Amino acid sequence: MAVRKKSDFPVSEIRRFIEPGPIVLVSSQHKGERNIMTMGWHMVMSFEPSLIGCYVWNQNHSHELIRKSRQCVINVPTSTMADTVVGIGNTSGRDIDKFQHFNLTATKAENVDVPMIGECHANLECRLVDGTLIRTYSVFVFEVVKAHAPKTPRTPKMLHYTGDGVFITSGPTRNLRKKFRPEKL
Amino acid sequence: MAVRKKSDFPVSEIRRFIEPGPIVLVSSQHKGERNIMTMGWHMVMSFEPSLIGCYVWNQNHSHELIRKSRQCVINVPTSTMADTVVGIGNTSGRDIDKFQHFNLTATKAENVDVPMIGECHANLECRLVDGTLIRTYSVFVFEVVKAHAPKTPRTPKMLHYTGDGVFITSGPTRNLRKKFRPEKL
């Protein structure tokens, strides 16, 4: 796996990566400790500001790192990273440094003090803007404050988790743009 | 399109359909008026109880029907229904009865007074259990109280929306079960 070349990407358009529902890798850092977790439960909640709701179970080691630092990076892996995704889900940041263990490149974010995963297709720098749902639902509401993605492909082949160890990979794209009413796009 | 034969499906396992992030069709009914909308922003929030958070914009005609009746059905369409999905997104329940217009079969739910869409792969009967996020975020927290799905295939070919009229269809399945730690499945 190689570090991907990316450019600045409009935060209001990151639905492209999140709305299709891929498994993502969340990186976090607090007081010198860093971690990565897999996350499958998330949703777009707004374009502007660019909001994402994320479920981070309070038993995950990342939960406290994110809650205390109030920031994270959502990294979108491609289907070629399947083994790494499973490995990250199998292990705990209590025991290992996952960047080191999985040979992932920590790249520097611009607006948060959290390492991004260079090998992922897209990196979304996030700040916690609403923590009121953490206690009840383990849901963090983040604002994407900066996004990094390559110019092409428009959408990568992603992994979608279905439980029981079974993933669906992204299949063929269908462009139905001509069938949409312009105001519905 | 034919009405699909389904059986009772465990509500605690509906993540199979929702977690991969497909576009879904939400049917609703209130005081004799029924409607269908497309929905792309949703997330699993719990297995037991089986909770799903859903974004239903307050400009959607369905918003008030769901808010007032406190129930809906989340119907999971397959990729063969792409034209119908786009058509439903293009039109408003203010102008037409979408079941009739799109020649969809309204089947009877067991625990909610909302018609299900027979042609869809799975039907999840939902009750609103938390309406406190509606005003701030247009987010409804539903409990799935009953689910209907065929025994096979385990997961259908679904549609995932990426914005701009472009969908990704579900591609090949990858079973990585053997690589998971048992407690992580």
Residue indicated by tokens 């004799």: B32
| pLDDT (mean) for B47-64 | 97
Domain A7-184 has CATH 2.30.110.10: yes
Which residues 97-126 of A have a C-beta within 8 angstroms of B?
A: none
Q: Which residue of B has its CA nearest to A181?
A: B90
The pLDDT, as a whole number, for residue B91 is: 96
The mean pLDDT value for B53-80 works out to 97
Task: Show the DSSP H helices in B36-181 as ranges.
Answer: 61-69, 82-90, 98-101, 134-137
B183 exposed, middle or buried (CB, 10 Å; 0-12, 13-18, 19+)? exposed
Predicted local distance difference test score (pLDDT) of residue A141 = 98
Which of B168, B156, B69, B174 is closest to B120 using CA atoms? B156
CA–CA–CA angle A20, A26, A27 (5° rounding): 150
Contact B163 A137 (CB under 8 A): no
Q: Which residues of chain A have pLDDT under 70?
A: none
> Look-up: residue for tokens 């990342």?
A62
Contact across the interface for B167 and A184, Cβ inside 8 Å: no
**A92 at interface of B, judged by CB pairs closer than 8 A:** no
Cα distance between residue B11 and residue B13, in whole Å: 5
Dihedral angle, C-alpha B6, B27, B143, B177, nearest 10 °: 50
**Where in chain B are the domains?**
14-184
Evaluated on CA atoms B5, B11, B13, B14, the torsion sign reads positive
Question: What residue type is A28 in one-letter code?
Answer: S
Q: Which two tokens stand for residue B38?
A: 């497309």
pLDDT per residue as tens digits for the range A99-136: 999 999 999 999 999 999 999 999 999 999 999 999 99
**Stretch (H or E) spanning B109:** none
pLDDT at B183 over 90: no
Tokens of B16: 């199979």
Q: In 3D, which of A14, A27, A12 has the Cα closest to residue A119?
A: A27
What is the fold, at CATH topology level, of the domain defined by B14-184? Answer: Pnp Oxidase; Chain A (2.30.110)
| Chain A residue with minimum CA distance to B185 | A164
Give A12's strand partners: none
pLDDT at B73: 98
Residue A82: phi and psi, rounded to 5, are: -55, -45
Residues of chain A with C-beta less than 8 angstroms from the C-beta of B156 = none
Going by C-alpha positions, the residue among A160, A114, A176, A166 that lies closest to residue A21 is A160
CA–CA separation, B179 vs A88, rounded Å?
11
Quote the tokens at residue A50: 């660019």
Q: What 3-state class would DSSP assign to B177?
A: helix
Find the mean pLDDT for residues B136-145: 98
Q: Which helix (DSSP H) or strand (DSSP E) does residue A180 occupy?
A: none
Report yes or no: B130 and B119 within 8 Å, Cβ to Cβ: no
Rounded to an integer, the average pLDDT of B92-113 is: 97
Residue carrying the six token digits 């007032």: B68
> Taking residues B108-137, what's their average pLDDT?
98
| Partner residue opposite B179 with nearest CB, options A15, A45, A86 | A86
* Rounded Cα–Cα distance for residues B177 and B136 (Å): 39
Out of B20, B141, B169, name the one closest to residue A172 (CB): B169
Residues of A with CB below 8 A from B162's CB? 15-16, 19-20, 154-155
Residue B141 and residue B64 in contact, taking contact as beta carbons nearer than 8 Å: no
pLDDT at position A49: 98
Q: Choose the closest CB to B180 out of A15, A40, A90.
A: A90
pLDDT in tens, B72-91: 999 999 999 999 999 999 99
Contact B28, B164 (CB under 8 A): no
